[in-house]
Amino acid sequence: MNIDMDYAFPLTPGFSKEESKQRFWKCLYTSAREEMLHYWVVLPKSLRPAELELVTFHDGGLTNIGRYLTTDNSPCLEILAAYDAASGK
């Protein structure tokens, strides 16, 4: 059995703590009525909230709880924060 893990993402940050503070901001979202929909997210400083209203996608069972878009001339980036309730089935 091969137990060597090949991760497709870095396990250690590529930036120093100071560089991280310069490039990213930490968002704590607590505006949802249900506490289970509160979240932390670390985003590039070029991203800002575009939509924070809850949007339920009944067909997929997801609730969109945040949408963040690029607000400057940097490359376009869109982040969606979604919630999916575990059914236990």
All structural domains of the chain with their residue ranges: 45-89
pLDDT value of residue 18: 93
Name the token pair of 46: 């070029």
Q: Measuring CA to CA, how many Å separate 68 from each of 27, 33, 73? A: 11, 20, 15
pLDDT value of residue 89: 57
pLDDT value of residue 22: 93
What does R_g of the chain's alpha carbons equal in angstroms?
17
* Residue 32 to residue 38: CA distance in whole angstroms: 6
pLDDT value of residue 2: 64
Low-confidence ranges of the chain (pLDDT < 50): none
pLDDT value of residue 47: 92
Task: Specify the pTM.
Answer: 0.70
In degrees, rounded to 5, the angle at the alpha carbon of residue 81 between the alpha carbons of residues 79 and 84 is 145
Q: What is the number of helices (H) and of strands (E) in the chain?
A: 1, 6
